[in-house]
Amino acid sequence: MTSTNQTSATNPGHAPSWYAHSANDKRVRESLKGEHTADVCVIGAGFTGISAALQLAENGFKVIVVEGERIGFGASGRNGGQIVNGYSRDLEVITRRYGPDKAAKLGAMSLEGGNIIRERTAKYGIQCDLVDGGFFAAFTDKQVREMAHVKANWEKHGHTGLEMVSKAEVGKYVKSDRYVGGMIDRIGGHIHPLNLVLGEAAAFESLGGKVFEKSRVTGLEMGANPVVRTAEGSVRAKYVLVCGNAYLGTMLPKITDKMMPVSSQVMATEQLDPDMIEELLPANYCVEDANYVLDYYRRTADNRLLYGGGIGYGGQDPANLTGVIRPNMLKTFPQLANAKIEFAWSGNFALTLTRIPHIGKLADNVYFSHGDSGHGVTTTHLLGKILGEAVTGHAERFDVWASLPAFPFPGGKTFRVPLTVLGAWWYGLRDKLGV
């Protein structure tokens, strides 16, 4: 079994994930050497960066993407692969915080990320095992009531794909005794995320775009034509888009103070008997439960169970990855007591204090987007596109997002992690007590 400190044996430079192992494209792109120029330089080849780059290349821009490791090295190539519509905070919370006008604008965009994924996979023939349908599983009647409330709210914003599921019907989606009901999202779904971002990067390259791998950006010089520098090269561009998310480090403290890397762990079983996996997840929907620190799982195209959960504030990985997740998997599916775990890995997403993505400008020609706070497969596709739109002179949607306030985590460098852990512990306790 692979673990967190190794890189993939079959796809070096990536985390030791089942995704890296089963990637469609294992080519390593050249690294940045010498001086280059572009209309736009994008830092980071995850969903956000590649979504923006593809949007711009489709509009005729010369774009260079500079990636510190490999395409999809970050959260985008390691996540649960769940297409979850909407944002990390419910539209009702968004209405309360930012008012009905902004909520209406964000609501109107809230299904677009999933649409972008579906459009691009169809347009460019991207093979990423796209399957429709997601199930939100409830442990308590209170969680069922909350889901019904969320559904009513979503419907006000035009989401017609939701349906409540009674306890008797849970077995249609997941064969586990843990749940008392839930809700399905017919336009949720799941994908092989690394193959999605690799396919999108290949589409970008087919339009003349260039991705440099193994080229960590160490400096960004602002100015009329900002310059992005790596150890061996540079890109001078008219615009720079910063899309490094939780892997950005401390290079740009003005924005990184307002997000916290948080790790989540994932594992994949050996290939299971097709009848067995079909019995566990008959509809082939992905599942996420309704707890604050949630479990998320799904089938893979080669009949594994891919199970995620756990959380490490500050981006710390537990010493024993499966020690955290396997017990949860067995609570859900005791039937898998003898199933071997073949892959286990960890990845970091970026959390903001508001749980709403943070988008803005560091200068007139330097934009950034990060902080999808754990639900980013769809949101990053939307926000990458919106970054691209802003560069092409259509900044209306960018401006809506950029107007939302972002705050540094309380407690400064020393206390921000323990304070967040304390908050999460409180919510986790409420889940355990069912209150």
Q: Which is nearer to ligand FAD, 181 or 308 (CB)?
A: 308
- Residues written for the chain: 435
Instruction: Rule CB under 6 A: say whether 365 interacts with ligand FAD.
Output: no
Instruction: Using alpha carbons, select from 76, 384, 361 the residue that is nearest to residue 247.
Output: 76
**Pairing outcome for strands 227-230 and 217-221:** antiparallel
Instruction: Rule CB under 6 A: say whether 46 interacts with ligand FAD.
Output: yes
Instruction: Rule CB under 6 A: say whether 45 interacts with ligand FAD.
Output: yes
Q: Which is nearer to ligand FAD, 60 or 83 (CB)?
A: 83
Burial class (CB in 10 A: 0-12, 13-18, 19+), 431: middle
Given 247, 307, 333, 343, the residue binding ligand FAD (CB under 6 A): 247
* Cβ 340 vs Cβ 2: under 8 Å: no
Instruction: Using alpha carbons, select from 378, 321, 385 the residue that is nearest to residue 347.
Output: 321
Binding string to ligand FAD for residues 285 to 314, with x set by CB under 6 A, is what? -----------x-----------x------
- Written as one letter, the residue type at 365 is N
Given 107, 188, 189, 244, the residue binding ligand FAD (CB under 6 A): 244
Which token pair is 110? 């809230």
Q: Which is nearer to ligand FAD, 95 or 295 (CB)?
A: 295
List beta partners, residue 348: 263
Instruction: Rule CB under 6 A: say whether 188 interacts with ligand FAD.
Output: no
3-state secondary structure of 234: strand
- Tell me, what DSSP letter sits at residue 332? H
Identify residues 53-82 at the interface with ligand FAD (CB under 6 A). Answer: 66-69, 73-76, 78-82
Taking the complex as a whole, the smallest distance from the CB of residue 2 to ligand FAD amounts, in Å, to 15
Kindly indicate which of the ranges 203-211, 238-246, 336-344, 422-430 contains the residues binding ligand FAD, using the contact rule CB under 6 A: 238-246
Given 44, 226, 312, 315, the residue binding ligand FAD (CB under 6 A): 44
Instruction: Using alpha carbons, select from 238, 193, 235 the residue that is nearest to residue 218.
Output: 235
Rounded-to-5 percentages of helix, strand, coil across the chain: 35, 25, 40
Element (H, E) at 387: helix 377-391
Given 38, 84, 150, 281, the residue binding ligand FAD (CB under 6 A): 84
Taking the complex as a whole, the smallest distance from the CB of residue 360 to ligand FAD amounts, in Å, to 14
Number of residues that bind ligand FAD (CB under 6 A): 44
Binding residues for ligand FAD (CB under 6 A) = 43-49, 66-69, 73-76, 78-82, 84, 216-217, 243-248, 251, 264, 266, 296, 308, 347-349, 370, 372, 374-377, 380
